[in-house]
Amino acid sequence: MTHDLLVYLSKTVGLVWLMGFFVIVVIRTYSPSRRRAYEAAARSILPDAEETR
């Protein structure tokens, strides 16, 4: 492992990793099929979970 190789890897794989990670997270978070589950989760901590809706 030379210094130049490590820097090169940082600048390429690191970048791809960053973008890929971002895309995966956005898809998982905003996929319409998960909407209901997330909304239920947001209400799960409130005592009157059912009454509010």
Partner 1 sequence: MLRLHYNLEKLSMGLVGAIIVAASIGGLVEIAPLFTIDETVAVPDDLRPHTPLELAGREIYIREGCYACHSQMVRSLADEIDRYGPYSLAGESAYDHPMLWGSKRTGPDLARLGGKYSDLWHVEHLVDPRSVVPASIMPAYPWLARPLDTGLLHDKLATLARLGVPYDEAMIAAAKTDALAQSRPDSDGAEAVTVRYGGKVAVRAFDGDPETLTEMDAVVAYLQSLGTLTEAPYRVLAEDRP
Partner 2 sequence: MAGTLSIPERQIALLLSGLLALLGLVMAAAARHGVMVVHGAMALGLGVVLIFIVGGALYDPAPPTDRMRRYYDAPTRFGIVMTLVWALIGMSAGVWVAALLYWPEATPLWPATSFGRLRPVHTTGIIFGFGGNALIATSFHVLQRTARARLADSVSPWVVLLGYNLFCAWAVTGYLMGSTQSKEYAEAEWYADLWLVVIWVTYFILYLRTLARRAEPHIYVANWYYLAFILVVAMLHIVNNLALPVRLTTAESFPIWAGVQDAMVQWWYGHNAVAFFLTSGFLGMLYYFLPVRSGRPIWSYRLSILSFWGITFFYIWVGSHHLHYTALPYWAQTLGMTFSVMLLVPSWASAGNAIATLNGAWHKVRDDATLRFMFVAAVFYGLSTFEGSFLAIRPVNSLSHYTDWTVGHVHSGTLGWVAMIIFGALYTLVPQLSGRETMASPRAVEWHFWLAVAGTLVYVVSMWNAGITQGLMWRTYQESGALSYSFLESVRAMAPYYLLRTIGGALFLTGMVICVWNCRATMRVAPGAATDHPLVAQPAE
Binding residues vs partner 2 (CB under 8 A): 7, 18, 21-22, 25-26, 29-30, 35, 37-50, 52
Q: How far is the CB of 38 from partner 1 (least distance, A)?
A: 14
**How many angstroms separate the Cα of 6 from the Cα of each of 16, 19, 23, 44?**
15, 19, 25, 46
Comparing CB distances to partner 2, the nearer of 16 and 45 is 45
Residue-by-residue DSSP string for 8-24? HHHHHHHHHHHHHHHHH
Residue 23 contact, options partner 2, partner 1, none, Cβ 5-8 Å cut-off depending on partner type = none
